[in-house]
Amino acid sequence: MVSGSFTIGDMTWFISMYITILITDLSFHLIAQFYALLTPRMDARVIHNRNVNVHKGIGHNISLNLFLEFLNRDVKEDLKKSES
């Protein structure tokens, strides 16, 4: 019989943490390799050119930050309605 405080729950936690660290490490290396292949101009476009096309048409792009502000406003309005 093995003595100690190791349980099945600890093993589940250990496996989930190991997978999280592995995915994080792999994603970091993938991103680093991706940016190594880009020209400086393409690198700037990938980082700073984040747009959302809400209406599925040409010329309807809005900034990702503005889109997230719209979503935040909608959630706040829904929360106020649900409180009353």
Domain match, 60 and 41 both: no
Three-state DSSP class for residue 57:
coil
Domain total of the chain: 2
Domain hosting 57: range is 50-84
For residue 19, what is the DSSP state? H
Domain match, 26 and 57 both: no
**9-30, pLDDT tens digit by residue?**
667 777 777 788 877 777 777 7
**35-83, pLDDT tens digit by residue?**
778 788 887 777 777 788 888 888 888 888 888 899 999 999 998 888 8
Question: Which residues have C-beta within 8 Å of that of residue 54, sequence separation ≥ 6?
Answer: 60, 62, 67
Domain match, 1 and 41 both: yes
Reported pTM: 0.43
Alpha helices in the chain (DSSP H): 8-37, 40-48, 64-83
Domain match, 63 and 41 both: no
Residue 64: name the closest of 49, 79, 76, 45 by CA. Answer: 49
